[in-house]
Amino acid sequence: ANPTASISGSSTFCVGGNSVLTASGGGTYQWAASNGGVITGSSTGSGITVNTAGTYAVTVTNNGCIGTASIAVTQATSLSPNITGNTQICPGSTTTLNAGSGFSSYLWSASAGNAVTQSVNNIGVGTYSVTVSDASGCTGTASTNVIQLNPTATASNNGPVCTGNNVNLSASVGT
């Protein structure tokens, strides 16, 4: 009877990561790659480590009988959180920063109290970063700076004023 070949391992890997594929069902193994897949190292063991998306197939031979199995492996997209919120605050004020939705976990920097939420509140002046991950364990990081505005006010008029005349005043605020 032909051996029953099977492949175990993750069919998705993160950017910069890999997936370990393991074959079972036979005595000898021969791996092959197609659809962009690449095998580096030995292709004759029961397991291979892949870091390129593609289709990976194994031929299992046992006592002259052959079985085959294949798996499509994909690379997950890069995670790119985008921190939003007011990053310019007045003296004594705070802001809220948000890393965006759609991630399975969040970890903010120590400057944000190592929060594990999508948003952080009562944020003062400083540098803040967040690392997000998805269900596959892939991660992405973003950072932002919150700065303090230091407004200055100036006022001027249109010249000397005589009794009974009007004066025009103008004011401006700088940062």
- What does the pLDDT look like over 107-162, one tens digit per residue? 999 999 999 999 999 999 999 999 999 988 899 999 999 999 887 767 677 667 78
> Cα(83)–Cα(119) distance, rounded to whole angstroms?
9
Q: What are the φ/ψ torsions at residue 136 (nearest 5 degrees)?
A: -85, -5
pLDDT interval class at 172 (50, 70, 90): low
pLDDT tens string 50-106: 999 999 999 999 989 999 999 999 998 889 999 999 999 999 999 999 999 999 999
Q: How far are the Cα atoms of 35, 44, 160 from residue 55, in angstroms, in the given order?
A: 6, 16, 85
Indicate the pTM of the whole model.
0.66
pLDDT interval class at 171 (50, 70, 90): low
- Shortest CA distance to 30 belongs to which of 7, 50, 60? 60
Burial per residue of 86-99, b for 16 or more beta-carbon CB atoms within 10 angstroms, e otherwise: eeebeeeeebebbb
Query: Sheet holding 6-8: strands in order across?
Result: 6-8, 19-24, 47-50
